[in-house]
Structure 1
């Protein structure tokens, strides 16, 4: 191959790559818009982001206690749990759990997590463990509404 053939091949390859890259970006932008539209739908139909966020915190707080009586993670996450419960209680509800019972449970969770955060400040491990278990059980009652939720 001579230099001209190599140069031509290199330019051709660069042109093809540039053309494909541009198309890929356009498709990606289009996909992003499409995904955002579905995110808005799924926030009320398929997903409950606030529940998932609270669940992650609850798992990090509760399982060390349940598995090995370690309350330190729960104590460290108490204020964060209260904040997450407050956000969750004020967020729009997905249609399948948009009812008075779920709203009441979320308000109870908000109140219970705030009380739990205050109990942690007092430092009585027995009371902390009892309140952590109550918060956990209340969370699971709400979660059951979601997974076994009825249609309106």
Structure 2
């Protein structure tokens, strides 16, 4: 249990460092900027930024997927999770258009945010 807690702490600190300094991967940082601007308001119950910027989120994910992975992030799983991030970001655009309930939309952006964190975790290992 202590090892799990320590690993989570390290992941959180590394992500905070990425958020403050950037990763050095412009396309990943650009996606992160839009993700933060949509997810964090959703956590507070404000889904308007997500509804307005879902297309931008998908476009940034598409650009990220097409970008060259910097050498320091060429690790197992990164490419696959980025493909999934792009696919799920694109699906978010379609989902938003169906006008789901606030609870369902919050659940979806949370899942997409989790996928983004998977990418970040794989980049760090």
- Shorter-chain TM band: 0.7 to 0.9
Instruction: Give the structure-1-normalised TM-score.
Output: 0.63
**What runs of 5+ residues in structure 2 fail to find an aligned partner?**
1-22
Pairing of 1:109-120 with structure 2 (within 5 A): 109-120=85-96
Which whole-Å CA distance do the structure 2 matches of 1:122 and 1:139 have between them?
23
Which residue matches 2:60? Answer: 84
The reply on whether 1:135 has 2:112 as its aligned counterpart is yes
Which residue matches 1:27? Answer: none
Which residue matches 1:74? Answer: 50
Cα deviation, residue 139, structure 1: 0.5
Largest Rg, 1 or 2: 1
Cα deviation, residue 76, structure 1: 0.8
Please report the RMSD computed on the Cα atoms of aligned residues, expressed in angstroms: 1.3
Cα deviation, residue 140, structure 1: 1.0
State the 4+ residue runs in structure 1 displaced beyond 2 angstroms: none
Q: Which moves more between the two structures, 111-120 or 90-99?
A: 90-99
Identify which of structures 1 and 2 has the higher relative contact order when contacts are C-alpha pairs closer than 8 Å and 6+ apart.
Answer: 2
Which whole-Å CA distance do the structure 1 matches of 2:104 and 2:91 have between them?
11
